[in-house]
Structure 1
Amino acid sequence: MRAFLEFHIIQNFAPSNLNRDDTGAPKDAIFGGHRRARVSSQCFKRATRLAAAQYDLIDEAHRGIRTKRLKRLLMERLTNRDPEEAAGKIESALAAAGLSLSKKDKDKTEYLLFLGEKEIAGFAELVDQHWDELADVDAAANKKQRKASAPPEVTKKAKALLDGGKAVDIALFGRMLADLPSVNQDAACQVAHAISTHRVEREFDYYTAVDDRAPDDNTGADMIGQVEFNSATLYRYAVLDIHKLFQNLQQDRELALSAVEAFATAFVRAMPSGKQSSFAAHNAPDFIGVSLRHVAPMSLANAFEKPVVADLRASLTEQSVERLHKADEKLSAVYSDGQDQWLYLDLTGKWPEQGRGEAQANLSQLAQRVREFADDALEA
């Protein structure tokens, strides 16, 4: 049976600039004909990965690393070998696997790689074990003349290493290696751009800075500038295909369940880092809803197509939670199979206590119940 875990979060941020566009302004979008604050899915995915590491939710052996500096990482693991020789052997091994180095900078790969810790450790072990079989690449030679080669059996091993390494974040968010489409991995998790449930207007902070050692007769500012910001109640949405995650993690059931529990915690705790030194907008969600659906994923973003309007009688957050449950009731009556299940952690008191799922006392309890949902889904 198909099984999708959906995460619906209402989170109000104080004045901030969490995710900037190319001009330095907070990202936004037009939705329902009105300008909304926006935090990109890429921003929250990275914040989720960082939160998983910060709170040690996933064992380091099952984490992914996104980098162009794979060659340097491998050299750091081959400390028992001569550095100059190691550089050439590593180039040979990477070439055997089909991973090309940059023509402009031989110490970096052509593009960002997303590799599991086990894959990286595997390459280091391959180089060490097949040291004499890997070709020596003269780093001082003309780049056009340099060739990296390896015998067929080593090449086969090098390519076999690129299996995702059972890295949880790669299994969740997928990866695409342009030169090696055979090792691409489709994401088990989709994350929406977070948008405000209400209209927003950009605001500007005009600031000045004064030289601490300026002479007494210097009365002016030594630096002036301005930064754009906004404040918004965001609707955040993500959906996780439980069976796809299980497949991506090579049918390791325990790891898949641990990954679900870790994601439930990390996605809620994910905090974009943009301009936080200036704004310190460390605002936790007021509502976390988790739904288990079996027919198809169903975002509730259209609950806010008509913007929530500020009202002294109810906060934007409270109104957003009310909109959310009404939208789910309406859509579920038409599109659901009647077997949807909900878990929720509500600090607003606006989510119905009867008939709309199981209330959870804290995030730890919620994440544990999400894991149990996933466990039951894999049994079905």
Structure 2
Amino acid sequence: MIPLPLLSLILLSFLYSVYAVAGGEGTYANAAVEGAQIIDNSTHIPTGFYTFRHVETNKYLQFIDFQNQIVPTQGENSTVFNGTLFTVKWHGDKNYSIQHVNHANLLKCLSTRWDHTRGSDDAGVAWQCEVDNKTIDKPDFDIYPNFHGVYNASLPRPLHGGKGHGKREDTNTSHHHQSERRFVNTYEAIRPDKQQWLFMRADPSASFDWTNVAFDPTTGKNQYSGDIIQPNRKEKRNSGSHLVYLVSAAHLWNMRSRCLHPTASYVFDFTPNNTGVTNLDFCHWGNQSLLWEMTLWKPKDFVLGEEPNPAFVHPEVSVWAVFGSGYPVETLTLWSCLLFVSLIAWICH
């Protein structure tokens, strides 16, 4: 007969091996600690219209209307124009959505895609906005008149005929009908944190100051201290720029954090129509390849979008939750106590 302490140790080893194998790439012991640090080092920003330029490649985050792609710019597109201008809305806490309107006047949100082959979040994609079913807000100005972007046909193009991604993505057929369905929520929604992002400061000790505007999270509105600067690309008139990491709010508490990286991919078959996507990489503070310069071209107040689920923002951790869920010290302590009690019970027996 196997002694009880030895049996407990075998059971512990078995459970740990099952957890490690089943968890896949996404499991991360210090996820809760890292998630809290990311939120602490992230900041509120004024809502409005922004561009995102990668500091090393000078490529901008870009929305391409063809097949609803979000990819880094190439060639002539690597500039400030309406295709690189995004609407940024607040969703409570430090969570924001990054949106663009396509030619059918449908909102597309920068969203976190799940790679089921690796068991982790792998890319930023353009999905139908589900965190904001209230208003369609697009720029009321043309940042680069008469320039509409160039899509080079020789670059990798999305493949046709890919399978859709459930009910979350419209097919751009019968636009009016699809728009009606979206606003009455007749489809199955995805987790809101997949369409929410945090702006983690490159320098956590620095405060973000914008010209004549600041954001008040108590009201959800911008506060103005002077006239709004009218955007002018040629004269570089805007409300300021800051360096940030674009951190996905998805799985922030149980997996390694993911940041937007300036590389495109067109090869996966589980995105609707195989559209072009922007890769995600592990967030590493100080990694220049993950830094983006966000420029506020015009602040604007918006209706508050869907707020994040509190469980995804500051989750409450119970005693039972520490068993194999990212708390190595506490887990070791509890298992040690369990083995000690088992040992005492065996001796008494």
Instruction: Please give the TM-score of this superposition, normalised by the length of structure 1.
Output: 0.25
Q: Which has the higher strand share?
A: 2
Q: Which has the higher helix share?
A: 1
Instruction: Please give the TM-score of this superposition, normalised by the length of structure 2.
Output: 0.27
Rg larger in structure? 1
